[in-house]
Amino acid sequence: MTARLIFLQVLAVAALLGAALIVLYYSISAHLEEDNRKELASQSALLARWLADTETRAPGDPLIGKTRAELIATLPVFIRLLAADGRLLVESPQSPAPPRDAFPSPGQTAAGWRSPSRQRLLLSSCWLPAPPGQRAPLLQIAYDVSDDDTLLRHLRQRIGLVFALVLVLSGILTLLITRGVFRPLARLTAAAAGVHASQLNARINEAGWPVELAALAHEFDAMLARLDESFRRLARFSSDLSHELRTPINNLRGEAEVALSRQREPAEYRRVLESGLEECARLGRLIDTLLFIAKADNPAEGIRCRTLDGAAECRAVADFFEAMAAERNLAILVRGGGPVHGDPELVRRALANLVDNAVRHTAIGGHIDLTVREQSGRGTDIEVRDNGAGINAEHLPRIFERFYRGEKSPGQAHATSGFGLGLAIVKSIMDLHGGTVEIASTPGSGTTITLFFPGPAPGKMTEM
Amino acid sequence: MSVLVIEDEAKAAAFIRRGLEENGFTVVLSAQGDEGLALARTEAFEAIVLDISLPVLSGFGILAALRESGNTTPILCLTARDAVADRVKGLELGADDYLVKPFSFAELLARLRSVVRRRNPATESVLHIADLQLDLPKLRATRAGQRLELTAKEFQLLALLARRQGEVLSRTVIANEVWDVNFDSDTNVVEVAIRRLRKKVDEPFPTQLIHTVRGVGYVLEAGRP
């Protein structure tokens, strides 16, 4: 990233600076050329007049009496005078002389010419003033501009030098700046690298971060906190799971071993086998349940939702528990109504788990109410309310966790109250439906659990 | 009644064979997919118990091949994988029912009988078991001439047990057939329901008809110890 930034920065500087320097160079060189041309034009006009005026010089002029050739030889420019018929009248002695046809016609712009000795000459021509009726001689004039070339060459060298220097400097500067900017990132990286499963409680401490990174650092810490929590939950889950698995396997193994250790009555063997079957059924149910929750965590298959009659589903579940309720003289009442958008099997399973809990925790003669309430346009609530023992507030936050049992009572838990997975399943089912589950409880007066099923998403197929 | 069992797991094949034979079935066993398919094509069976994960040719392959060739023998699939997609695929390919391992043998038996029965459904409307009489259309149950006062669900439960007398029905099968509850629940609802039914059907009379098979399920049978 740093290399890339430096590369891009240097590239940008090269492009901008290069363009600026090129424009500068060309404007200078154009300006010089223009000056030269103007100079040449005025010089040639002056010379033309001067050469024409040789006969009319003022008395005392030191040039009087000199021939044109002598005059020309004193000048720093190359001059060639041609008669109208093309005859050479006079020429500066410099050599090499630019050829005649290299000169532009009079009135045309000056042309450049380069001598074999690398001198650059600017060429121009004009007519000498002539008395009326005579054809005027042609003046060719060449002006040495080699000095300008040298100047421009120096300029080019300087420009190149400056260009290279600026590029190097900008590269170094970018490197320094980038380092400075990225130093917190490097610290963040180091902090992230220091996080291991064994020490998820480490935090990267928000203070001291630049504003731009504070949010990232904060989110990073929040992520660590979530991971930490998931990890703890997972660790707790696996330890609970291994306990749940060990118990029935231990029973199976121990009973079989003891039974086989000596000769017994057939009825004894029978009892052991029957007990083994019970443990197997327990294991099978545990596996089913765990698979169900695992699948709900990663719902690859999705669920098959359709619109159900909420009250009818509640009545079906109430029917299922009718015998149990009658046994304990509990009343299960279904009230209200409304459409529930859900997977019928899952909806029943969730309701059955809730009613099962309610039946188990409600004293003889109590009542359980299933209330279906349509929430205008949003979905439907199903509320399961009992007037049973209630749950202490300290258990509520964790009540939907797997294997969480409010009151630990190992002996009693085994046969009657299942694995402590009932509410975890309800939570999973509601997650699958995109719904929510809420619990409110007052010890001594009862528990209310509310399931919210959202309505079908608009424009979405009922088959999910 | 002859059944073809295609299962490569030796222990599973052995207990299925033994259990089925003791329940009056004739069992032909095959441990390989291709061999099983050949057997299914050449001999007539009343049902096939088919494991999905088999060497050489998978259960799905056998299923597809049999149904393609027009063989309509009832097929009960067994699998250790509980993916809904698998179940749907099996049923789409023409399986009659589907059991996920671990299953109870009573359930295998019940399902096997029910896939066979589905082909030739019983039409009796009045059932007699010893001195118990069930009039299905009228929802009336009597024992020793005495009318039994049952709730609707109790009658359904008794009718289920009576229709399949002598068969041990697991709690799952009962919950499914009577209450349409398709999940294996931890609750003892079925136990309680059976207990209440017994109070009305068995307790007032000298002989017991509804029996508990511990760890397996319940059965309605006359003359069982």
Task: Write out the residue range of the structural domain in which residue B91 sits.
Answer: 2-119
Which helix (DSSP H) or strand (DSSP E) does residue A413 occupy?
helix A410-416
DSSP class of A398 = G
What span, in angstroms and rounded, lies between the C-alpha atoms of A232 and A229? 5
Amino acid at A412: Q
Range A211-297 has CATH code 1.10.155 = no
What span, in angstroms and rounded, lies between the C-alpha atoms of B225 and B211? 9
The CATH class of A306-454 is: alpha beta
Which helix (DSSP H) or strand (DSSP E) does residue A126 occupy?
strand A120-127
- Residues B108, B137 within the same domain: no
The minimal CB distance from A288 to the residues B181, B184, B195 is found for B184
Distance from CA of A310 to the nearest CA of B (A): 16
The minimal CB distance from B189 to the residues A288, A323, A418 is found for A323
Q: What is the pLDDT of residues A18-29, one digit of tens each?
A: 999 999 999 998
CB spacing of A323 vs B153 below 8 angstroms:
yes
CB spacing of A419 vs B179 below 8 angstroms:
no
- Residues B62, B29 within the same domain: yes
Which helix (DSSP H) or strand (DSSP E) does residue B88 occupy?
helix B84-92
- Give contacts of A275 with chain B, Cβ < 8 Å: 215
- Residues B114, B44 within the same domain: yes
Chain B positions with Cβ closer than 8 Å to A: 82-85, 100, 102-104, 151, 153-154, 175, 179-189, 192-193, 195-196, 214-216
Task: Give one DSSP letter per residue of A308-344, joined into a string.
Answer: EEHHHHHHHHHHHTHHHHHHTT-EEEEEEE-EEEE-H
Tokens of A258: 């003891």
The minimal CB distance from A281 to the residues B104, B189, B192 is found for B104
Residue B114 lies in a domain: yes
What's the domain count of chain B? Answer: 2
- Give contacts of B185 with chain A, Cβ < 8 Å: 349, 352-353, 356
In angstroms, how far is CA A188 from the centroid of its own chain?
17
Give the number of other Cβ atoms within 10 Å of residue B139's Cβ.
12
CB spacing of B102 vs A287 below 8 angstroms:
yes
Q: How far is CA A111 from CA A62, A102, A107, A114, A141, in A?
A: 34, 8, 12, 10, 11
- Give contacts of B83 with chain A, Cβ < 8 Å: 301
For the ranges A97-101, A377-381, A439-443, the lowest mean pLDDT is seen at: A97-101
Compute the average pLDDT of residues A28-48.
83
Q: What is the pLDDT of residue A66?
A: 66
Treating both helix axes as pointing N-terminal to C-terminal, what angle do B171-179 and A310-320 enclose, rounded to 10 degrees? 140
Distance from CA of A277 to the nearest CA of B (A): 5
CB spacing of A320 vs B181 below 8 angstroms:
yes
pLDDT at A408 over 60: no
- Residues B114, B214 within the same domain: no
- Residues B110, B31 within the same domain: yes
What is the 3 state secondary structure string of A144-180?
A: ECHHHHHHHHHHHHHHHHHHHHHHHHHHHHHHHHHHH
Range A2-154 has CATH code 3.30.450.20 = yes
pLDDT at A95 over 60: yes
Mutate to test the interface with A, among B99, B150, B184, B192 (most CBs of A within 10 A): B192
Give ipTM to 2 decimals. Answer: 0.71
- pLDDT tens track, chain B, 225 positions: 899 999 988 888 999 999 999 988 999 999 988 899 999 998 889 999 999 888 788 889 999 999 999 888 999 998 877 666 677 788 888 899 888 888 888 889 888 988 888 876 666 788 888 899 999 888 899 999 899 999 988 999 999 999 888 888 888 889 888 988 877 666 788 999 999 999 999 999 999 999 998 888 899 998 776
Reported as half-sphere exposure (CB side, CA atoms, 13 A), residue A98 has a value of 28
Of B70, B98, B119, which closes a domain?
A: B119
CB spacing of A278 vs B192 below 8 angstroms:
no
Q: What value does the mean pLDDT of chain A take?
A: 81
A-B contacts at Cβ under 8 angstroms: 81
CB spacing of A277 vs B175 below 8 angstroms:
no
CB spacing of A288 vs B82 below 8 angstroms:
yes
Of B86, B119, B152, which closes a domain?
A: B119
CB spacing of A291 vs B182 below 8 angstroms:
no
Domain residue spans of chain A = 2-154, 211-297, 306-454
Q: How far is CA A450 from CA A382, A400, A409, in A?
A: 6, 13, 27
- Give contacts of A327 with chain B, Cβ < 8 Å: 192, 195-196
Q: What is the pLDDT of residues A281-340, one digit of tens each?
A: 888 888 888 877 777 776 666 678 889 999 999 999 998 898 889 888 999 999 999 999
Q: What is the pLDDT of residues A143-193, one digit of tens each?
A: 888 888 888 889 999 999 999 999 999 989 988 888 887 787 787 787 778
Distance, first Cα to last Cα, chain A: 43
- Closest by Cα among A178, A176, A121, A117 to A144: A121
Residue B22 lies in a domain: yes
- Omega into A96 within 30° of 0, i.e. cis? yes
Residue B225 lies in a domain: no
Sign of CA dihedral A9, A11, A12, A18: positive
Tokens of B91: 């049923």
- Give contacts of A417 with chain B, Cβ < 8 Å: 186
Q: What is the pLDDT of residue A463?
A: 43
Distance from CA of A235 to the nearest CA of B (A): 25
Domain CATH number, residue B105:
3.40.50.2300
pTM, rounded to two decimals: 0.59
Mutate to test the interface with B, among A252, A289, A324 (most CBs of B within 10 A): A324
CB spacing of B189 vs A277 below 8 angstroms:
no
Distance from CA of B130 to the nearest CA of A (A): 26
Which residue from B minimizes the CA distance to A283? B102
Treating both helix axes as pointing N-terminal to C-terminal, what angle do A266-297 and A422-432 enclose, rounded to 10 degrees? 30
Of B71, B103, B119, which closes a domain?
A: B119
Q: How far is CA A207 from CA A184, A203, A213, A214, A221, in A?
A: 12, 11, 10, 8, 12
Amino acid at A126: C
